[in-house]
Amino acid sequence: MKIVVPVKRVIDAYVKVRVKSDGSGVDTENVKMALNPFDEIALEAAMRLKESGQASEVVAVTAGPEAAQQQLRTALAMGADRALHIDTPADIQPLAVARLLVAICDREQPDLVLMGKQAIDDDANQVGQMLAALQGWAQGTFISALEPGEGEVLVTREVDSGHERLALPLPAVVTVDLRLNEPRYPKLPDIMKAKKKPIEGLTPEELAVDISTGLSVLKVEEPPARVGGARVNSVAELVEKLQQEAKVI
């Protein structure tokens, strides 16, 4: 089984996000960046499949600026066999990413695409579903358990009523949730070795993919600061405040 794991460069989950003064986006200058946590979980799942002899190769791929190669190095340190970097702007939209992954799948012919259910920067939760739709492949989303079978993969996904088990024929796209596993920390020798491993560079033009989008960000604002609560003396006063001030009823 050959596995492709898409990964994304995001602001570290423990960094306080700040909006640029002109409102054009999020300030990433001198900000610690990291591998998207959900993608780490997907990569860990792929590595466990390889270590158990159920997967033959794990290929990590990312789309982004040159700096995104740092996250590919992390993927290599965790055990990925190869890494592919598609040189694109940092603010590429989910549909464009899905189209790039279609081209990668046509090129690599994987049996399984394992990826995080969403990225923690835009929380779009779209790329996996779009990729499966464009490829016409089976998909399992928000999975918390994964078990390969003969020509299929068995997944458990969390739904409102509990858990749902699905058998997905390969090739398939699977997006992972937090409860699937605990990602490993790369060891120092593996980190040093990863620095010397080659990363194959690609461009959208080489993949014959148009990454232009009809969407544009007009303005980014920080959420309003929370204000303290207020005491009311009666139900009538509460209803009045909900009607006149909060305007929720």
The predicted pLDDT at position 140 comes to 94
CA atoms within 13 A on the CB side of 86: 28
62 and 87 Cβ atoms separated by less than 8 Å: no
Share of the chain above pLDDT 90, in %: 72
pLDDT in tens, 51-100: 999 999 999 999 999 999 999 999 999 999 999 999 998 888 999 999 99
Report residue 218's pLDDT band, with 50, 70 and 90 as the boundaries: confident
pTM of the model: 0.85
The predicted pLDDT at position 3 comes to 96
Q: How far, in Å, CA of 209 to CA of 100, rounded?
A: 6
Q: CATH assignment of 2-244? A: 3.40.50.620
Query: Is 213's pLDDT higher than 90?
Result: no
CA 173 to chain CA centroid, Å, is 13
Domain boundaries, the chain: 2-244
Average pLDDT of span 110-120: 95
pLDDT in tens, 229-243: 888 999 999 999 899
Taken in order 15, 17, 18, 24, is the CA torsion positive or negative? positive
The predicted pLDDT at position 74 comes to 95
